């Protein structure tokens, strides 16, 4: 992988409460555990959940005197896409992956980075409230009626990127809709959502993957900044925590990210920034 052009992963959903930041943090640390050099930008300067999570992690590592895989991270609190691109370029140097965690609302910077993604990850809860972000369904048949503005934006971007792939040697965009918290969904409703997602994916070309269930452990880990992968630092784990760890591993495999040469080796430690 060319270190000057890291693989861009954008976590984007214009609706909050979908587990977006939690998913982004765990993916970032999972990549670091595999030996990848990871940098990240939080685009929500008000909540800065992603930034605070890794800030807490850095403090825990200092306090405990331990060395665990880490990502370089920053938060962007401006409004200029040019300034954001400059920050992204400066963080890209010598990194294999550049992650963006975007706000859970309509945001021009979030839309901007979404169009630059190599892998676009859209976490959603299994409900038609969340499904409405990407498409609208008929109230009686639950058939997809139309794409949302957001889905049309990504669809047009993917078409342009596909045409430019050979000419400019750009990567094609891989759009993955990640279904979080599926364990609390009634079976009939889950089937309807699965059918609607399958229909819509044929139109706009995204893939679907199961993500992270709603588990208390994710909220418990935030103050320490630790993740489910930090074995030996979490204390005794219950069965549900072990299941959650397997969910995370399955998600990482499903994202099918291009690992750099030398991955799977002990992770290179990256100082927080």
Q: What is the pLDDT of residues 24-76, one digit of tens each?
A: 999 999 999 999 999 999 999 999 999 999 999 999 999 999 999 999 999 99
Interstrand relation of 207-210 and 97-101 (parallel, antiparallel or unpaired): unpaired
Looking at residue 267, its pLDDT comes to: 40
Is residue 178 within 8 A of residue 251, CB to CB? The reply is: yes
Task: Write the pLDDT tens digit of every residue in 81-124.
Answer: 999 999 999 988 889 999 999 998 889 999 999 989 999 999 98
Among the residue ranges 110-119, 142-151, 184-193, 194-203, the one predicted with the least confidence is 184-193
What is the overall mean pLDDT for the chain? Answer: 85
Looking at residue 203, its pLDDT comes to: 84
Angle, helices 20-33 vs 49-64, to 10°: value is 40
Q: Taking 60 as the threshold, does the pLDDT of residue 134 lie above it?
A: yes
Answer whether residue 92 is part of any domain: yes
Looking at residue 68, its pLDDT comes to: 96
Looking at residue 155, its pLDDT comes to: 86
**Domains held by the chain: number:** 1
Whichever domain contains 235, its CATH number is 3.40.50.300
Answer whether residue 273 is part of any domain: no
Place of tokens 């750009």: 170
Answer whether residue 23 is part of any domain: yes
What is the three-state SS of 213-269? CCCHHHHHHCCCCCCCCCCCCCCCCCHHHHHHHHHHHHHHHHHCCCCCCCCCCCCCC
Looking at residue 164, its pLDDT comes to: 63
Q: Taking 60 as the threshold, does the pLDDT of residue 211 lie above it?
A: yes
Looking at residue 184, its pLDDT comes to: 55
SS3 14: coil
Answer whether residue 151 is part of any domain: yes
Angle, helices 149-168 vs 187-204, to 10°: value is 40
Answer positive or negative: Cα dihedral of 150, 154, 157, 163. negative
Looking at residue 264, its pLDDT comes to: 56
Answer whether residue 200 is part of any domain: yes
Query: Domain limits at 244?
Result: 7-255
Answer whether residue 263 is part of any domain: no
Answer whether residue 38 is part of any domain: yes
Q: Global pTM?
A: 0.87
Q: Which residues contact 167 (CB under 8 A, 6 or more apart)?
A: none
Looking at residue 272, its pLDDT comes to: 36
Answer whether residue 140 is part of any domain: yes
What distances in angstroms separate CA 42 from CA 87, 142, 239, 247, one per listed residue? 11, 35, 32, 24
* H/E stretch holding 180: strand 174-180
Is residue 121 within 8 A of residue 9, CB to CB? The reply is: yes
Answer positive or negative: Cα dihedral of 107, 101, 234, 252. positive
Q: Taking 70 as the threshold, does the pLDDT of residue 141 lie above it?
A: yes
What distances in angstroms separate CA 111 from CA 4, 26, 90, 102, 134, one per listed residue? 23, 23, 20, 9, 14
Rounded to the nearest angstrom, the gap between the alpha carbon of residue 163 and the centroid of all alpha carbons in its chain is: 25
Which span out of 2-6, 41-45, 129-133 was modeled with the highest average pLDDT?
A: 41-45
Q: Taking 80 as the threshold, does the pLDDT of residue 166 lie above it?
A: no
Is residue 226 within 8 A of residue 233, CB to CB? The reply is: yes
């Amino acid at each position: 992988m060319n270190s000057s052009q890291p693989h861009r992963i954008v976590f984007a959903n214009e609706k909050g409460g979908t587990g977006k930041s939690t998913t982004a943090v765990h993916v970032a640390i999972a990549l670091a555990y595999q030996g990848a050099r990871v940098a990240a930008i939080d685009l929500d300067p008000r909540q800065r959940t992603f930034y605070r999570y890794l800030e807490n992690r850095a403090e825990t590592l200092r306090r405990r005197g331990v060395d665990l895989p880490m990502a370089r991270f920053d938060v962007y609190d401006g409004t200029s896409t040019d300034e954001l691109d400059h920050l992204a370029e400066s963080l890209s140097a010598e990194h294999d992956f550049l992650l963006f965690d975007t706000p859970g609302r309509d945001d021009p910077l979030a839309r901007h980075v979404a169009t630059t993604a190599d892998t676009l990850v859209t976490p959603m809860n299994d409900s038609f409230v969340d499904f409405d972000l990407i498409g609208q369904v008929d109230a009686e048949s639950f058939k997809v009626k139309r794409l949302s503005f957001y889905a049309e934006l990504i669809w047009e971007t993917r078409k342009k990127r596909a045409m430019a792939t050979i000419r400019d040697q750009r990567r094609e965009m891989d759009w993955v809709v990640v279904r979080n918290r599926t364990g609390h969904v009634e079976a009939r409703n889950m089937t309807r959502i699965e059918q609607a997602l399958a229909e819509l994916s044929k139109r706009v070309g995204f893939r679907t993957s199961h993500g992270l269930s709603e588990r208390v452990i994710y909220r418990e880990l935030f103050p320490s900044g630790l993740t489910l992968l930090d074995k030996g630092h979490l204390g005794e784990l219950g069965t549900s925590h072990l299941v959650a760890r397997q969910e995370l591993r399955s998600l990482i495999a499903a994202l099918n990210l291009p690992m750099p040469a030398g991955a799977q080796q002990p992770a290179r430690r990256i100082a927080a920034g």
